[in-house]
Amino acid sequence: MKNLNIGMIGYGFMGRTHSNAYSQVNHFFPLKYKPVLKAVCARDAEKVRSFADQWGYESVETDWRKVVERKDIDAIDICTPNNLHKDIALAAAANGKMVLCEKPLSMNTAEGEEMVAAIERAGVPNTVWYNYRRAPAVTLAKQLIDSGKLGRIFHYRANFLQDWTISADLPQGGAALWRLDAAAAGSGVTGDLLAHCIDTALWLNGSITDVSAMTETFIKERKHTLTGQIEKVSIDDACTFFCHFKNGSLGLFESTRYARGHKALYTLEVNGEHASLKWDLHDLHRLQWFDHGDEGIVRGWRSVHVSDGDQPYMKNWWVPGLQIGYEHTFIHQVADFLKALEEGKPCSPTFREALETQKVCDAVISSAKERTWKTIES
Ligand code: SOE
């Protein structure tokens, strides 16, 4: 087995999901590469040391530039707030490192284009962590759509609903709350939550050609953790958009952090000529399936428990009937990345593919701002 030395920059919630994935992957997937937790980097020396001890990283750094230059690191994992993605990716590529970047790829399309150019110029393996594609039930949806079982697709519908920012007392900015600060995040729910829905939609249903969106910022001012001042909130708290897909189907997407009672409800539904399917993150192991070709007297929605060894990813886990969870979607992404490396193939979504999601996000934000339809430039 060949070691793949990981240098992870950032260590928040995503740092944990990625570290867990690197640690677990070789226990379950037969692969030629083995990730080694070589270094983790963050500005707070004490906190990053404690993270390294908890997860088993061999060393710590407090300056990301040192990590990207280290000769003993093969791959850089970017888990920082979005405003650092570009600089780190560019430096990593210049140093010939592979790059795994947390979603969304960038703050905006212009940055994303620079990142794609740098990565492709360097010719380094790359991927963006859009993990929900790798829930076995979502992967099964892809198989069913690609096999033509749904026939012509008419509708694609997705929601990502949360409720954690309803309190006006919640500050913006700083360690945990950078997602509320446009300077660190780029956008609000569009880049944070709808980006997931868009990535899955592009993967399942193909390109989006144009969008019409509305956004709202319900709490207009919040205290900024870094300045201590009350400052304008510039992120979108909620976003809804319509779109056309290139295959002629219609899309409807909604995301908010103000849906009281919903913590992380990602749902999607696809309606085709012959069949429909539905998926719900809170019941992530099930794919709801309706097949109009079924015999009339038993025709109805089927709830497929995606745990059989014939189903995507499942042969690597337990015995049929036993399920896996959220953290496994990240393990699958690492497994796919390592397998792609072994085979000299790209691991989807690459930076270039994730740039498509970024373009849709940008079009959504500008459509809402200008109250007009926006075409996605390909
Ligand atoms: C935000 O609350 C968040 O953690 C996103 O940043 C993740 O990408 C999403 O998967 C869950 O929600």
Q: Which atom of ligand 1 is nearest to the CA of 257?
A: 2
CA–centroid distance, 5 to ligand 1, in Å, is 26
CA–centroid distance, 129 to ligand 1, in Å, is 12
Total domain count, the chain: 2
Which of 108, 131, 154 terminates a domain? The answer is: 131
d(CA 213, CA 34) in angstroms, rounded, equals 44
* Residue 151 lies in domain: 133-375
Which of 131, 146, 166 terminates a domain? The answer is: 131
How large a percentage of the chain has pLDDT more than 90? 97
Q: 350 in helix, strand or coil?
A: coil
pLDDT tens profile 174-219: 887 999 999 999 999 999 999 999 999 999 999 999 999 999 999 9
pLDDT at position 2 is: 98
- Give yes or no for a contact between 262 and 238, defined as CB atoms under 8 angstroms apart: no
**164 lies in the same domain as 301:** yes
**147 lies in the same domain as 275:** yes
**112 lies in the same domain as 140:** no
d(CA 10, CA 44) in angstroms, rounded, equals 10
What are 198's two structure tokens? 């868009």
CA–centroid distance, 171 to ligand 1, in Å, is 18
Q: What CATH number should be reported for the domain holding residue 36?
A: 3.40.50.720
Asked whether the ipTM of the predicted complex exceeds the cut of 0.85, the reply is yes
**127 lies in the same domain as 76:** yes
* β-bridge mates for residue 374, sequence order: 211
**52 lies in the same domain as 184:** no
pLDDT at position 115 is: 98
**281 lies in the same domain as 332:** yes
Q: What CATH number should be reported for the domain holding residue 235?
A: 3.30.360.10
* β-bridge mates for residue 101, sequence order: 78, 128
pLDDT at position 377 is: 84
**137 lies in the same domain as 123:** no
- Biggest CA-to-CA distance, the chain: 66
Question: In this structure, which residue's CA is closest to atom 11 in ligand 1?
Answer: 264
- Give yes or no for a contact between 211 and 201, defined as CB atoms under 8 angstroms apart: no
pLDDT at position 234 is: 97
**40 lies in the same domain as 179:** no
pLDDT at position 378 is: 78
**90 lies in the same domain as 177:** no
pTM higher than 0.90 for the full model?
A: yes
pLDDT at position 111 is: 98
pLDDT at position 278 is: 98
Which of 71, 99, 131 terminates a domain? The answer is: 131
pLDDT tens profile 196-207: 999 999 999 999
- Give yes or no for a contact between 5 and 71, defined as CB atoms under 8 angstroms apart: no
CA–centroid distance, 123 to ligand 1, in Å, is 30
Could you list the beta-strand ranges (E) of 178-311: 208-216, 221-223, 230-232, 238-245, 250-256, 265-272, 275-280, 286-291, 301-305
**195 lies in the same domain as 343:** yes
- C-beta neighbour count of 218 within 10 angstroms: 14
Residue 2 phi, psi (nearest 5): -100, 130
Question: In this structure, which residue's CA is closest to atom 5 in ligand 1?
Answer: 192
Q: Counting beta carbons within 10 angstroms of the beta carbon of residue 280, is it exposed (0 to 12), middle (13 to 18) or buried (19 or more)?
A: middle
Q: Which atom of ligand 1 is nearest to the CA of 102?
A: 8
Task: Give the residues of the chain that fall short of pLDDT 70.
Answer: none
- Which residues' Cβ are closer than 6 Å to ligand 1? 13, 162, 192, 196, 264
pLDDT at position 309 is: 86
- Give yes or no for a contact between 367 and 361, defined as CB atoms under 8 angstroms apart: no
**254 lies in the same domain as 199:** yes
pLDDT at position 174 is: 86
**255 lies in the same domain as 167:** yes
Residue to probe by mutation, ligand 1, list 82, 192, 256, most atoms within 8 Å of CB: 192
The CA-atom distances, in angstroms, between 304 and each of 24, 137, 278, 332 are 27, 8, 11, 20
β-strands 275-280, 286-291 pairing: antiparallel
CA–centroid distance, 266 to ligand 1, in Å, is 10
Q: Which atom of ligand 1 is nearest to the CA of 162?
A: 2
CA–centroid distance, 248 to ligand 1, in Å, is 30
